[in-house]
Chains A and B, each alone.
Chain A
Amino acid sequence: MKPFTYERALSPAEAAASAARQPAARFIAGGTNLLDLMKLQIEVPPHLIDVNGLGLDGIEATSEGGLRIGALVRNTDLAADERVRRDYGVLARALLAGATGQLRNKATTAGNLLQRTRCPYFYDTAQPCNKRQPGSGCSAIGGITRQLAVIGASEACIATHPSDMAVAMRALDATVETVKADGVARHIPIAGFHRLPGETPHIETALEPGEFITAVTLPPPLGGQHFYRKVRDRASYAFALVSIAAVVQRDGTGRVALGGVAHRPWRVEAAEADLPRGAKPTMAAILDGARPTHDNAFKVTLAQRTLASVLAEAKG
């Protein structure tokens, strides 16, 4: 790792102000993704702001009937929370489908949202990558693309977002609460939180420099049956080729979000009207405009079949 200085922040506003003063600084919470990237010198922050002591580790009921999840709630604790298991099964399932027990014990709610892509060319510092080094080019295009995006990609980047948790939160219409460097709080709907790569794949979220996530809120429970179906190359501890977060109601209506296919959790609300007609028309509408590569064209078929399997299970 490159040398860095280290501080422990005492309040969210102070953390945000400190980060704004030192634009190359990084917040560190669980550290499981950041330290990995620092060892590889993909991330080289000169300063770390440890936010573990901020007390943002509670899960509380909101007055609207939903849940407010502190930014520092560990993935283990969120998945084990009785209310999450009972009312937001899709979220508990998504969390448990990701990483390992050791990583979930450290990984936080905000950190999970902010984790970086696992595109192999992002990780290989000997290769150009627009995300790692803006303007250097994309080695993934024309390279080994089996794991990479099939929709929403650009000429600059075909990476995918690796999170399972975020896919479930997209299906649930969560809201990300933040505090900016000037102390102003804001609420960002999850639908607008992660960006598509476009010409600036190194800018991955709607966060401003220094802006600090304090919580994620979930709206009141949707009822229905909850599913998170993850298809991957091994049975555990692997990133998704395709994953589906779904909440299906008794009348066949519902919500569907996809992981493993795009630069952000992929959901097309208009396509959900097709759900009672089955997986084929629904997935055709969700993945309308997909431009898969030769290596990952299978994901389009796999997504449709995975949704078919979820809908079959929902019917019982």
Chain B
Amino acid sequence: MNGEVRDLAVDTRTTLLDALREHLQLTGSKKGCDHGQCGACTVMVDGRRIYSCLTLAVMHEGDEVTTIEGLGQPGNLHPMQAAFVKHDGYQCGYCTPGQICASVAMLEEIKAGMPSHATADLTAAPRLTPEEIRERMSGNICRCGAYSNIVDAITEVAGRQA
């Protein structure tokens, strides 16, 4: 869990999200819909983004889980966190931890050459266009509507990485 081994005994019904929030006090990951429709609970498991509300804690024994707390902390922000602040990529902030975890993992997917619905040529390396970013981030909803600023933040970080 964010680089530390954590031992937990939980009811089989405990989702990974509830284990994070209720048992490990990692309340950065948010519960929005609890049904995989909003993306607020997005975390990374073994480097891949998933909805932590739609998986059981008992299914992740031995897995490496990274939450928003593991990406960066005040005073030592992850570049994506800093870019969201700079570009005003949020208003109320509730979806933000999920947006940031999803963005960081999404850029790794592009780097690994994984295609998306917005990729014109399936056999070529995907290009980092606003259309690609929007399609790949469609699993994270922002009801304040900060989408254009979120795309700006991601684009800046991606540009720096490239």
Contact = CB atoms under 8 A, between A and B. Distances in A.
B48 A105 contact: yes
A28 interface: yes
A85 B48 contact: no
Nearest to A104: B139
Contacts of A106: 50-51, 54-55
Contacts of B106: 101
> Interface on chain B toward A: helix, strand, loop, or mixed SS?
loop
Contacts, number: 98
A39 interface: yes
A35 B15 contact: yes
B138 A6 contact: no
A103 B59 contact: no
A225 to B, nearest CB: 12
B49 interface: yes
Nearest to B11: A3
Given A31-B55, A85-B122, A102-B102, A236 B50 contact: no
B138 A32 contact: no
Interface in B35-51: 35-36, 39, 42, 48-51
A69 interface: no
A236 B138 contact: yes
Interface stretch (B71-79, B111-119, B144-152): B111-119
Interface in B84-129: 102, 105-106, 109, 112-117, 119, 122-123
B58 interface: yes
B25 interface: no
A256 B73 CA distance: 52
Contacts of A80: 112-115
A97 B54 contact: no
Interface of A: 1, 3-6, 28, 31-32, 35-36, 39, 48, 50, 52, 76, 79-80, 85-86, 89, 92-93, 96-97, 99-103, 105-106, 235-237
10 contacts: A3-B13, A36-B36, A39-B34, A79-B114, A93-B117, A102-B139, A103-B51, A106-B50, A236-B134, A237-B138
